[in-house]
Structure 1
Amino acid sequence: MAKIALITGASSGIGEACAHLFAQQGYHLILLGRRENLLEKIAHHLADKYAIEVKKIQADVRDKENINYVLETLPANWKNVDVLINNAGLSQGLDPIDKGNTDDWDTMIDTNIKGLLYVSKVVSGWMVEQKKGHIINIGSIAGKEVYANGNVYCATKHAVEALNQGMRIDLLPHGIKVTAIHPGMVETEFSIVRFKGDESRAKKVYDGFEPLIAQDIAEAIWFAVSRPPHVNINDMLIMPTAQATATTVKRD
Structure 2
Amino acid sequence: MNKNILLLLIFSLALAGCGTGTVSEGSANGESSEETVNEQVKESETEIPAEETGTEKEVDNVDFNQYRSPVKTVKTFSQDEFTITHEITDQNGDYVQELVKFGDVSTLSIYEWNERGYSLVYSEENPQSQESLIEEFETVESPKEIVSISNKGEGGNLEWEMVASNEEVTVPYGSFKGVILMKKTITSETTGQKTITSRYFASEMGLIKEVTEIDGENGYTIVTELESITK
TM-score by length of 2: 0.26
Larger RCO (alpha carbons 8 Å, 6+ apart): 1
TM-score by length of 1: 0.25
Q: Which has the larger radius of gyration?
A: 2
- Structure with more helix by fraction: 1
- Structure with more strand by fraction: 2
